[in-house]
């Protein structure tokens, strides 16, 4: 829902300012149409229905995985593809994964999104409309900015969207923004965002040469500078930073590489999430044994570490699998 358009339409009709807030509060609670907004005059409901679309995105297709993960492909008004995912956990948690860009200009070798053409940054409304889509069929309580794109390259719009999430029932503490370590955005995140939004860093290799090979962005913003910024975030916010580490067989999963990683990370500041690789063509995923051995090294170094539960692989909805040819 483009609230700026809504406000302009309401103003043009001489409606009082509180009308926009009324409409937004219905939308944020998952209203499926203006006809449900019973505290608006009937005539106005009809007029808005024809002048302000409920969403800035249209749904192109939606798939549900065997584990009940849902992946939705949307299209923007100007025809760009956007994907978002709803993850349903057994304990009742409902987590959504949203995209910040259509495609991604960065070229991490293990990620499918990096291989598709970069289209553009999404607007704040296009981001929040992904969340609202899922909110319309069930309550949602967590949001990760881990879909297509690099959130820190679209800082303002990502923040606009993140700041609206509590209206949908997703608190800041349950919102996580993930970055490859794009420093200009990360610095702004640390300096400007007072809300307790969580931070995740895609690290994937402690060794600089290897990291540059699989994540070319490392040449531009070297890991030590990025980690220093994460430490600054921790000092200011007292919130641990999640480190994401995708396990690639024979590439970054050796026990020595776990030691290198442990040496880089202050156990007070970081928490590691090992991610089983979801096939995108280039690599093989690490074996369960290799993941366990890697985890063991971090455990011994007293660095909190978990292995990410893989969701939605059978519909290519898992981490790193979001890409469309559209």
Nearer to ligand SAH, 111 or 193 (CB): 111
CB of 325 to ligand SAH, least distance (A): 17
Q: Whose CA is closest to 69, among 311, 305, 295, 253?
A: 311
Q: Given the complex with ligand SAH, which of 146 and 258 has the nearer CB atom? A: 146
Residue 22 host element (H or E): helix 18-28
Instruction: Please spell the DSSP secondary structure of 39-104, one letter per residue.
Output: TS-HHHHHHHHHHS-S-SEEEEEEEE-TT--EEEEEEETTS-EEEEEEEE-TTS-EEEE--SEES-
Nearest-approach distance from CB 125 to ligand SAH, in angstroms: 20
DSSP code, position 38: T
Task: Please name the residue ranges forming H helices in 215-314.
Answer: 217-220, 223-237, 255-264, 288-300
CB of 280 to ligand SAH, least distance (A): 4
CB closer to ligand SAH, 221 vs 277: 277
> Which of 41, 116, 11, 20 has the alpha carbon at shortest distance from 326?
116
- Which residues on adjacent β-strands are paired with residue 95? 87, 142
Eight-state DSSP code of residue 309: P
Q: Which of 232, 150, 224 is nearest to 193 (CA)?
A: 232
The answer to whether 251 touches 220, Cβ cutoff 8 Å, is: no
Round to whole Å and give the CA distance between 100 and 126: 9
Output 55 or 280, the one with its CB closest to ligand SAH.
280
Contact (Cβ atoms closer than 8 angstroms) between residue 265 and residue 223:
no
Query: What six digits make up the tokens of 282?
Result: 């280039």
**Is 260 known to be catalytic?**
no
**Measured over all CA atoms, what is the biggest interatomic distance in the chain, rounded to whole angstroms?**
69
7, 83, 229, 244: which one is catalytic? 83
Nearer to ligand SAH, 270 or 277 (CB): 277
Burial class (CB in 10 A: 0-12, 13-18, 19+), 129: buried
User: Active-site residue 83, yes or no?
Assistant: yes
Closer CB to ligand SAH, 30 or 312, in the complex: 312
- Closest contact distance (angstroms) between CB of 29 and ligand SAH is 28
Catalog residues that contact ligand SAH under the rule CB under 6 A: 110-111, 146, 150, 178-180, 202, 244, 246, 275, 277-278, 280, 319-320
CB of 225 to ligand SAH, least distance (A): 16
Q: Which residue is nearest to ligand SAH (CB)?
A: 320
Q: How far is the CB of 182 from ligand SAH (least distance, A)?
A: 8
Catalytic residues: 83, 319
């Amino acid at each position: 829902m483009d609230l700026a358009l809504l406000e302009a339409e309401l103003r043009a009709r001489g409606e009082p300012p509180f009308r926009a807030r009324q409409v937004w509060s219905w939308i944020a609670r998952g209203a499926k149409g203006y006809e449900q907004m019973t505290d608006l005059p009937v005539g106005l409901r009809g007029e808005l229905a024809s002048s302000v679309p409920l969403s800035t995105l249209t749904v192109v297709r939606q798939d549900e995985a065997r584990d009940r993960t849902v992946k939705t492909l949307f299209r923007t008004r100007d025809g760009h593809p956007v994907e978002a995912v709803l993850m349903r956990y057994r304990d009742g948690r409902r987590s959504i994964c949203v995209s910040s860009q259509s495609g991604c200009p960065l070229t991490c070798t293990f990620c499918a999104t990096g291989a598709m053409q970069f289209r553009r940054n999404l607007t704040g409304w296009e981001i929040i409309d992904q969340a609202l889509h899922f909110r319309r069929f069930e309550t949602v309580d967590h949001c990760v900015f881990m879909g297509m794109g690099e959130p820190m390259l679209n800082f303002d719009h990502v923040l606009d969207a993140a700041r609206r999430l509590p209206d949908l029932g997703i608190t800041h503490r349950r919102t996580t923004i993930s970055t490859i370590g794009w420093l200009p955005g990360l610095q702004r995140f640390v300096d400007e965002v007072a809300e307790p939004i969580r931070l995740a860093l895609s690290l994937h290799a402690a060794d600089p040469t290897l990291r540059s090979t699989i994540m070319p962005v490392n040449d531009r913003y070297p890991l030590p500078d990025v980690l220093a910024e994460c430490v600054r975030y921790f000092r200011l916010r007292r919130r641990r930073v999640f480190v994401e580490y995708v396990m690639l067989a024979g590439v970054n999963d050796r026990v020595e590489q776990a030691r290198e990683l442990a040496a880089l990370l202050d156990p007070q500041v970081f928490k590691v999430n090992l991610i089983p690789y979801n096939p995108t063509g280039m690599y093989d995923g690490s074996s369960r044994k290799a993941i366990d051995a890697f985890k063991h090294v971090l455990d011994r170094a007293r660095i909190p570490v978990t292995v990410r539960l893989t969701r939605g692989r059978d519909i290519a909805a898992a981490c790193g699998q979001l890409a469309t040819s559209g």
